[in-house]
Amino acid sequence: MTSPQVPSHQVRIHYRQQDTFHTVQVPEDRYILHSAENQGVELPFACRNGACTTCAVRVKSGELYQPEAMGLSPELRQQGYALLCVSYPCSDLEVETQDEDEVYEQQFGRYFGKGKVRFGLPIDED
């Protein structure tokens, strides 16, 4: 049970793949994904520990705290991405789900799937 002294915030989630909107109330000391599930809102997830990026969203407004989001590069955090499974709200928030594998592609797409690799270096195809 949450202490009544802990402030909570309203989190509005646009689940883009289903084109549905959900509003949940999340205390500052609770993860957004877990709180949403407790309020009957099912969102994408896989690992639940900040590693896989399945639960990534774009933050449209507001602030959150995600110290355990190890699956997200500092650059993507600065661009406004967050992992809901390990995010705490710091204010009212508005977020939207990513396109499928959007964050994964942005982080790793430039390293994988770009031709043959030998000894860690790309091979010039010419």
Shortest approach of ligand FES to residue 50 CB, angstroms? 5
The β-bridge relationship of strands 8-15 and 20-27 is antiparallel
How many CA within 13 A on the CB side of residue 24? Answer: 25
Shortest approach of ligand FES to residue 49 CB, angstroms? 7
d(CA 28, CA 16): 25
Where in 64-83 is the site for ligand FES (CB under 6 A)? 71, 83
Considering the complex, state which of residue 54 and residue 98 has its C-beta at the smaller distance from ligand FES: 54
How many CA within 13 A on the CB side of residue 84? Answer: 31
Contact call for residue 53 and ligand FES (CB under 6 A): yes
Contact call for residue 52 and ligand FES (CB under 6 A): yes
Considering the complex, state which of residue 25 and residue 107 has its C-beta at the smaller distance from ligand FES: 107
Sign of the CA dihedral with 47 first, then 53, 58, and 59 last? positive
Shortest approach of ligand FES to residue 122 CB, angstroms? 28
Q: By CB under 6 A, name the one of 13, 26, 32, 55 that touches ligand FES.
A: 55
Contact call for residue 35 and ligand FES (CB under 6 A): no
d(CA 65, CA 20): 25
**Start-to-end Cα distance in the chain:** 63
For tokens 């900040």, the residue is 50
Contact call for residue 103 and ligand FES (CB under 6 A): no
Binding stretches for ligand FES (CB under 6 A): 45-48, 50-55, 71, 83, 85
